[in-house]
A and B are shown apart, each in its own frame.
Chain A
Amino acid sequence: MIKVSELGIKFKTKKRQRARMFSFLFDRSHNQQQSSGEFWALRHVSFAVERGETVGLIGRNGSGKSTLLRVIAGVYPPDEGKVSVEGEVSTLFGLGSGFNAELSGRDNIYLDGIMIGMTKNQIDGIIDTIVEFTELQDFIDMPVRTYSTGMRARLGFAIAMHSDKDIVLIDEIMSVGDVAFREKAEAEMNRIIGDSTVLLVSHEMGTIKKFASKVIWLDRGVIAAVGEPEEVIQKYLAAAKVKKPLSR
């Protein structure tokens, strides 16, 4: 179960960060002040996700979707509010290669697995299934740098799906693969839905509608709407027609 209340995540400009780096030399109160060198990527975000629920996250580029997933993965500690996550979270490896593009897909699977707390033996047990699922057979021992975006997506998705964690975070992986892979990925999604709690970020409303039982629409770091997929997506699409600048 995931419970987020009044979550705020603040980023600072490089200049402000550099000042903070030496903050221990200065008066504490000096640094607590708000200033123009920072902005809130997320603010006043509250929602709850029940066990086994699949939640879709939608919103324009830069609206804070990925930031929210990172908070749930434990990467960003909240600057404001509270986040409680019960259960183990799978990796968030999306389109980036996790460690080093020189390393093979196989090495990356092991690394990802160990990162999220699996043992080498556990990974040995599922590696064949993952490799088969990715259909990368010949490429699996080649450096990840030789992979296409779609191939990387396959790798990331396969690892997330087979890690058997309570909470699965999927950031825009589904929409990259080819038709054949998408069908497979959808079958796989149907398999885990209900057992695992899933948070799904996508710009494809079709995907969201298909899987999500609830949708959260983020707009410039705040929740614009939460609720029934159809309803929220309607609102989102309607708003998207009225062009707004991306900056806040």
Chain B
Amino acid sequence: MIEQVKKVWQKRELLWYIVKLQMKAENKNKLLGFAWSFLDPLLLLIVYIVLVSYIFGRGGPQFPILLFIALLSWRWFTNALTRSVTSVTSKLALVQSVRFPLAILPLSGIIVGFFDWLFGFAILVPMLFIFKASFAVNVLWLPLLLLIQFIGTIGACLIFAVVGTYLSDLGNILQFVIRLGFYLSPIIWIVEDVVPESLFTAYMLLNPFAGLLESYKNVVIRGMAPNEYALWGAAVACIVFLIGLWYFSRNEYKLVKAI
């Protein structure tokens, strides 16, 4: 497994180049090109503001930015998962032509998604002033939260890359699970508002992503320290990472023949 990490590290130039090409390819035929990296989350944000603030009449004054930071992180995670399912099969010609660490394929999707996160965050920054977010040193926790999410996402994507290569059905299942997960996670709502206190601990343990999402909101908008359940999220992320690395390593070269 350590070998796997080494292999990818040796090929980091290739990884970086694939990331660049992937971003280029995704935007090439669009009139607005890279502007979509900003527009996508912004338009999505508007949809949810309309839904929650106007239709349901909920959400506080800071609702748009609370929603936005959670939405960005959720999108990073789920887009990476979606990409990973087809990450190997869609690069058929490449995979069959030359030997390289295949983990680069799902990994590049995660990194591309991280850039989307950064673009989105760039839009969020001026909004933080408009909606009067409280700033505090606690914002320095942000890189750590991102790292936790990155590690967990790598693990999950490595698993999905293998399973998705054998089972194309995974894409269909995943779409549904992501949608469900979206409503079950504190993105368009806040845990305290929705989950009854008696179920709070159970909920946070069952949804390791929830602690992370609440922590993002805490450090970026509320000026508070991360939610203590972020630690649970970190533990789950590490476990998923190790499982993913192990599972991918033992299946890597069988994948080539599976396509």
- The chain A residues found within 8 Å of chain B, CB to CB, are 11-12, 14, 17-18, 20-21, 24, 70, 73-77, 89, 91-94, 96-100, 102-103, 107, 110-111, 114-116, 119-120, 143
Contact = CB atoms under 8 A, between A and B. Distances in A.
Contacts of B21: 99-100, 103, 107, 111
A107 B166 CA distance: 30
Given A21-B163, A97-B93, A12 B257 contact: yes
Interface string B125-154: 000000000000000000000000000000
B167 interface: yes
List 5 A-B pairs, minimum CB-CB distance, nearest first: A74-B99, A96-B93, A92-B97, A100-B25, A102-B25
Interface string B71-108: 00000000000000000000111111111100000000
Interface of B: 13-14, 17-18, 21-22, 24-25, 28-29, 91-100, 162-163, 166-167, 247, 250-251, 253-254, 256-258
B24 A98 contact: no
A18 B96 contact: no
Chain B interface, >50% SS class: helix
B97 A119 contact: no
Contacts of B13: 114, 119-120
Contact of A110 (B17, B22, B91, B257): B17
A98 B93 contact: yes
B97 A18 contact: no
B256 A75 contact: yes
Nearest to B92: A96
Given A12-B257, A73-B99, A74-B99, A115 B94 contact: yes
A14 B92 contact: no
A69 to B, nearest CB: 9
B93 A93 contact: yes
A70 B96 contact: yes
A115 B98 contact: yes
Contact of A73 (B91, B98, B257): B98
A70 B13 CA distance: 23
B21 to A, nearest CB: 6
Contacts of A70: 96-97
A96 B162 CA distance: 23
Nearest to B27: A102
A74 B101 CA distance: 11
| Residue from B13, B24, B162, B257 whose CB has the most chain A CB atoms within 10 Å | B257
B97 A93 contact: yes
Contacts of B91: 99
Contacts of A103: 21, 24-25, 28
11 contacts: A20-B254, A21-B163, A73-B97, A75-B97, A92-B96, A93-B97, A99-B91, A107-B24, A111-B17, A111-B18, A143-B28
Contacts of B17: 110-111, 114, 120
Given A114-B13, A114-B17, A115-B14, A75 B93 contact: no
A79 to B, nearest CB: 9
B97 A98 contact: yes
A145 to B, nearest CB: 10
B41 to A, nearest CB: 23
A11 B22 CA distance: 31
Given A74-B99, A92-B97, A97-B93, A17 B14 contact: no
A58 B199 CA distance: 69
A8 to B, nearest CB: 13
A114 B15 CA distance: 10
A92 B93 CA distance: 9
Contacts of A20: 254
A21 B97 contact: no
Nearest to B16: A114
Contacts of B256: 75-76
Contacts of B258: 14, 17
Nearest to A74: B99
A127 B84 CA distance: 32
Contacts of B98: 73-75, 89, 91-92, 115-116
A103 B162 CA distance: 26
